[in-house]
Amino acid sequence: MSRFRLLSAAALLAVAANANATSLIVTTDAIVGALKATSDASSDATSSLRDNKVVRAARDDAASFVASDGAIRGVKLESALVQIRQQAPQLNAATDAQLAQAILAI
């Protein structure tokens, strides 16, 4: 009878281990999928802004704006800020200083 219990315990352990592994895989896939979707959305927004000629032309104005702590606001920067907010509405909550720093980063 002890052999039967040992085999039963081994079978139960195998089933439990398989369930845990499956659960881990499903959880990991869900997390990775969510991170990829977020990354893709961010990448799409920044790549479209990176390719935008108005935004690229505003780099010097953005540098002046950041260096002067907001005192110098060039025309190219103003135009780029308007265009960024139109193209990427999710960035409307960002301040002008944050967007100027982002322009410098791309």
What pLDDT digit, counting tens, does each position of 10-28 carry? 666 665 555 544 444 545 5
pLDDT at position 102 over 50: yes
The answer to whether the predicted template modeling score (pTM) of the entire model surpasses 0.75 is no
More confident of the two residues 74 and 4: 74
DSSP 1-56: -HHHHHHHHHHHHHHHHHHHHHHHHHHHHHHHHHHHHHHHHHHHHHHHHHT-HHHH
Reference 52, options 91, 20, 17, 15; nearest CA is 91
Average pLDDT over residues 52-60: 90
What is the model's pLDDT at position 17?
57
DSSP state of 93: T
Locate 2 and state its tokens: 């002890």
User: Residue with structure tokens 């720093």?
Assistant: 101
